[in-house]
């Protein structure tokens, strides 16, 4: 009875989030994803470039990245993004810093798609336990939002190239932020990603040796599968399915498939923590299970917590408390 009510609550929450979303046209936009690509690239050309990027570690390494331009004012940090877009607001990265009494441990938080607020409770909780929490605005969110937009349609959409550019931008921005934290003296750096943020956190952890612990909430491997099957992305699928099938979408978004980085995530020295929802309709459990199996096959030993709730109800008691306690134990805070 309770879980039937929980499922209905999750569906009602999904319907509220769906109200503002509109289906947008399918666009390849290869030049945006892969600078220098043929402006009139075919889908096959796009997929070939994407598959090459997925096996190129340099794709998520900002070329000649500058660590200049950081400005700190009270609890706010701003710095220029490594990727310049036509949306001026999106080109400046904003991060909120909740300091602790320690200058050794820091955790960078990557929020979910269309987040309406930062995670004040998480920041407060862990900062009191000796961890400085840094909450970075992902592309087209919060202070970086596109003027006039009601949701972050430029971060994740049926524009294949812009979606790759946006996730790549989030990864570059996150890595630049981590370099700054290292320069400030922090030596133990963790990343925490939630839903879409877990893809960003996972890709960063796979490519950046400065990250010692990665916690992924409500995650899956293939972003293509998540968009195709998920409750929150029906409007995106509507723009895709008349022009591309799931098999080709997987190829086109190969750089965004965390399964492709399982070997990297299994590297020595990186600890993994995963929180999954058994009743998730946004990131289907079978996608998460496939990702977990890929990690284990690669030699990783993720600490996995499975909660009997949905994607949105993970934020309700008792599930949020169980997830928080599991994260606290994983990070070894006393």
pLDDT tens digits, 296-330: 999 999 999 999 999 999 999 999 999 999 999 99
**pLDDT at 144 > cutoff 70:** yes
DSSP 138: P
- Dist. CA 146–CA 229, nearest whole Å: 27
Round to whole Å and give the CA distance between 273 and 315.
17
2-330 CATH pick, 3.40.140.10, 3.30.565.10, 3.40.50.1820, 3.40.190.10: 3.40.50.1820
Is the pLDDT reported for residue 333 higher than 70?
A: no
pLDDT at 334 over 50: no
Please state, for a pLDDT cut of 90, what percent of the chain lies above it.
Answer: 85
Residue 51 has pLDDT above 60, yes or no: yes
pLDDT at residue 209 in the model: 95
Distance of alpha carbon 233 from alpha carbon 138, whole angstroms: 18
Go through 38-67 and write b for each residue having 16 or more CB atoms within 10 A of its CB, e for each that does not. eeebebeebbebbeebbeeeebbebeeeee
| 3-state SS class at 27 | strand
Range 220-225 average pLDDT: 97
Rounded distance between C-alpha atoms, residue 95 and residue 78, angstroms: 6
Contact call for residues 18 and 232 (beta carbons, < 8 A)? yes
Q: What's the distance, CA 59 to chain centroid?
A: 17
What is the reported pTM? 0.96
pLDDT band at 228; cut points 50, 70, 90: very high
> If you average pLDDT over each of 7-21, 59-73, 194-208, which comes out highest?
194-208
Pairing type for strands 76-80 and 92-98 reads antiparallel
Burial class (CB in 10 A: 0-12, 13-18, 19+), 236: buried
| Residue range 244-276, pLDDT digits in tens | 999 999 999 999 999 999 999 998 789 999 999
For residues 106 and 157, what is the distance between their CA atoms, to the nearest angstrom?
32
Mention every residue, 6+ apart, whose C-beta is less than 8 A from residue 259: 221, 222, 290, 291, 294
- The pLDDT assigned to 189 comes to 97
């Amino acid at each position: 009875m309770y879980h039937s009510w929980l499922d209905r609550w999750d569906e009602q929450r999904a319907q509220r989030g769906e109200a503002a979303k509109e289906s947008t046209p399918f666009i390849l936009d290869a030049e945006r994803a892969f600078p220098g690509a043929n402006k009139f690239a075919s889908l096959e050309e796009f997929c070939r470039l994407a598959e090459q990027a997925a096996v190129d570690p340099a794709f998520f390494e900002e070329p000649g990245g500058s660590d200049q331009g950081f400005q700190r004012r009270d609890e706010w940090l701003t710095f220029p993004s490594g990727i310049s877009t036509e949306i001026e607001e999106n080109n400046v990265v904003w991060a909120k810093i909740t300091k602790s009494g320690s200058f050794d441990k820091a955790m960078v938080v990557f929020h979910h798609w269309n987040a309406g607020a930062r995670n004040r409770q998480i920041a407060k909780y862990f900062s009191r336990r000796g961890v400085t929490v840094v909450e970075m605005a992902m592309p087209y969110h919060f202070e970086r939002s596109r003027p006039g937009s009601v949701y972050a349609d430029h971060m994740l959409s049926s524009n294949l190239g812009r979606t790759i550019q946006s996730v790549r931008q989030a990864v570059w921005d996150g890595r630049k932020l981590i370099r700054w934290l290292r320069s400030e003296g922090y030596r133990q750096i963790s990343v925490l990603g939630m839903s879409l943020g877990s893809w960003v956190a996972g890709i960063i952890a796979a490519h950046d040796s400065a990250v010692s612990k990665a916690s992924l909430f409500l995650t899956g491997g293939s972003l293509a599968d998540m968009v195709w099957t998920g409750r929150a992305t029906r409007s995106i699928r509507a723009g895709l399915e008349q022009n591309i099938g799931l098999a080709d979408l997987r190829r086109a978004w190969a750089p965004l498939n965390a399964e492709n980085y399982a070997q990297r995530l299994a590297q020595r020295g990186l600890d993994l923590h995963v929180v999954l929802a058994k009743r998730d309709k946004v990131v289907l459990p079978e996608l998460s299970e496939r990702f977990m199996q890929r990690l284990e096959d690669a030699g990783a030993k993720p600490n996995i917590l499975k909660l009997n709730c949905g994607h949105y109800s993970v934020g309700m008691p008792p599930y949020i408390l169980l997830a928080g306690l599991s994260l606290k134990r994983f990070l070894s805070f006393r």
